[in-house]
Amino acid sequence: METENTTQIPEFLILGFSDDPKLQPVLFGLFLSIYMVTVLGNLLIILAVSSDSHLHNPMYFFLSNLSFIDICFISATIPKMLVNMWSQRKDISYIECLTQVYFFNTFVGMDDVLLTLMAYDRFVAICNPLKYTVIMNPRVCAIVVLMFWIILFWVSLIHVLLINELNFSKGTEIPHFFCELAQVLKASNSDTYINNVFMYVLTFIFGVIPMTGILMSYSQIVSSLLRMSSTLSKYKAFSTCGSHICVVCLFYGSAIGVYFSTSVVHSTQRRMVASLMYTVISPMLNPFIYSLRNTDVKLALGELLIRIANCPLQINEIRTKFILRNIR
């Protein structure tokens, strides 16, 4: 098979969900709606946390970062898919594909890290409440998050540099709705042994280890709750974990479905559906999960929406006072 160096390849072909031209407008409308709801919902969470001084603590600092990452997460894949659906095309340039790989891996890694940090935050709050302010120091939390951002930026760059050494045939087809790393490697004609080893090692470091940390944190939380004598205390303590548990189950459940599915028949379609769950559906549902199950977030969102609704009235009052002052 004739091959070319990657630097000479003009584009890849993203096969997407369907080839039916009549179905493209329906899918476009659906995914555009999901994208807008996701961005708006997560943006409201960020604004609510930043505007309410009662939420300026590590738990909600991690939550606002998670919302920011969810916006970036879905923005790394959906806009290009919408453009292709609107134009009835499947092409994506080589640079765009590598950019998707770079940012997608960065954001999915940060999602894992933040979910783990949020689980550890709940562990400290429930199991070591007297030491919470010392262990979960806001400055330390910010430094830890920044450190992981830097690490993942460099790790994702290594992925891209390794892909850049591979060869691909003309019109390379990727059976997915975005340039997923594993699918890009499968489409290559070169030996991808080093790429795969690096990918599996990082999947273990940023996937398996964080999930293990989350399970260990909650095992300690459950053990601590069982030792509490008051049923009300148990309920209050565990209620602070409910939203996080739902998000973790949704994210890791779908991710496990992608990488550990043993199904052979329609495996590509199932992989895309599972990927859709944690790349699109999970970021969209996270704001609803946290706002519906968390009283503090609901109150902050309510106050924010009231403030936004009253803003035009306040602006009109200021304009009226300004006009009356000039008339006098």
pTM of the model as a whole: 0.85
In a domain, 320, yes or no: no
- pLDDT value at position 256? 74
- Position 203 in a domain: yes
pLDDT at site 317: 53
Cα–Cα distances (Å) from 237 to 116, 225, 226, 227, 232, in that order, read: 18, 8, 11, 12, 9
What CATH number does the domain containing 44 carry? 1.20.1070.10
Residue 322 has pLDDT above 70, yes or no: no
CA distance 41 to 19: 31
Residue 164, φ and ψ in degrees, nearest 5: -65, -15
120: pLDDT strictly greater than 80: yes
Q: Is residue 43 part of a domain?
A: yes
pLDDT at 103 over 90: yes
310 belongs to a structural domain: no
Confidence (pLDDT) at 314: 53
Is 302 domain-assigned? Answer: no
Q: Is the pLDDT of residue 302 over 90?
A: no
**Structural domain span for residue 174:** 8-293
pLDDT band at 267 (very low <50, low <70, confident <90, very high): low
Average pLDDT score over residue span 74-97: 88
pLDDT tens digit sequence for 144-194? 999 999 999 999 999 999 998 888 877 788 888 888 888 888 888 888 899
In a domain, 316, yes or no: no
Q: Which long-range contacts (CB under 8 A, 24 or more apart) does 252-261 make?
A: 252/211, 253/277, 254/278, 254/281, 254/282, 255/207, 259/203
- Total structural domains in the chain? 1
**Cα 272 to the chain's mean position, in Å?**
16
Residue 30 falls inside a structural domain: yes
- Is 300 within the bounds of a domain? no
